[in-house]
Amino acid sequence: MKTKNPIISARGLVKTYNQGKANVVHALCGVDFEAYRGEFVALVGPSGSGKSTLMHLLGLLQTPSKGEIIIDGENMKRLPKRLYPRVRAQKIGFVFQGFNLINTLNAKENVILSARYAGESARRAKEKAEKILRSVGLADRMTHRPNELSGGQQQRVAIARALVNEPAVVLADEPTGELDSKNSDEIVKILKDLSRNGQTIVIVTHNLDVAKKADRIITMRDGNIIGEGSEIK
């Protein structure tokens, strides 16, 4: 479901790393990217192709050497970097391969913490956490800690945490990388259903079966986009 303007876009993104005086690594070489509300976009390519670098830049986890990023109509180049944490908390949901849950907190507390960090009151954060955990099928697992949950259940908690602040976009880095095929299929179904309901999803994946479930596949190599469409190039 495309809207007129992309929910997240990038123009001319360049990222270089200096590894000694004579060695410059070009991780991204002037990449243009956009994703619209309700799109499910997969970034694929071999290791070192630049897909994770692109995701880290889109998520404001790194700063581009050149180029600009626009999130929900706001140009990040014009925003002081001290405000980036606010944008990350309110506009971007992150889902990581390793789940990144806090082991001393139960499922609900992990999600509440994300809502509180974005400025929600304790009461509202609790309400939102319970609602979103129910929506991903964890109504009976809210008080379980991560070590009491399966890998698939932990990733559902991570998805709930990413969604609790109603972000403009969810960025998922290898969200099925540590899951078996059954749990992988379940997580992809959740992401697909979210996109059908208007949530923008951008994933990095090496799993071509997962990528094929996306609405659009962007193939990267050597810091460039070399293909884009409904099939893997």
What band does 233 get if pLDDT is binned at 50, 70 and 90? low
CA distance 55 to 51: 6
Q: Is residue 159 part of a domain?
A: yes
Q: How far apart are CA 113 and CA 122, in angstroms?
A: 9
Residue pLDDT, tens place only, 109-148: 999 999 999 999 999 999 999 999 999 999 999 999 999 9
Q: What angle do CA 172, 60, 198 make, to 5 degrees?
A: 45
**More confident call, 213 vs 19:** 213
Q: What tokens does 39 get?
A: 């799109």
pLDDT of 1 strictly over 70? no
The widest CA-to-CA distance across the chain, in whole angstroms, is 57
How is residue 157 written in tokens?
């908690």
The more confident residue out of 97 and 40 is: 40
Domain presence at residue 209: yes
Residue 10 forms part of a structural domain: no
**Are 188 and 163 in contact, with CB atoms under 8 Å apart?**
no
Does residue 16 fall inside a structural domain? no
Residue-range definition of the domain harbouring residue 191: 37-63+81-229
CATH number of the domain within which 94 lies: 3.40.50.300
Q: 24 lies in a domain?
A: no
Question: Is the pTM value of this prediction over 0.75?
Answer: yes
As a residue count, the chain comes to 233
pLDDT digits (tens, 9 = 90+) for 12-28: 999 998 877 678 889 99
Q: How many domains does the chain have?
A: 1
pLDDT more than 90, % of the chain: 89
The verdict on residue 74 lying in a domain is no
- Fill in the DSSP letter of residue 28: E
Let me know if residue 27 belongs to a domain.
no
Q: Tell me if 71 is assigned to some domain.
A: no
Q: Cβ neighbours of residue 53 under 8 Å, at least 6 residues apart?
A: 15, 27, 28, 62, 223
Residues 6+ apart with CB under 8 A from 69: 8, 9, 10, 13, 57, 58, 60, 75, 76, 77
Q: What is the pLDDT of residues 68-85, one digit of tens each?
A: 999 999 999 999 999 999
Q: Tokens standing for 11?
A: 């123009």
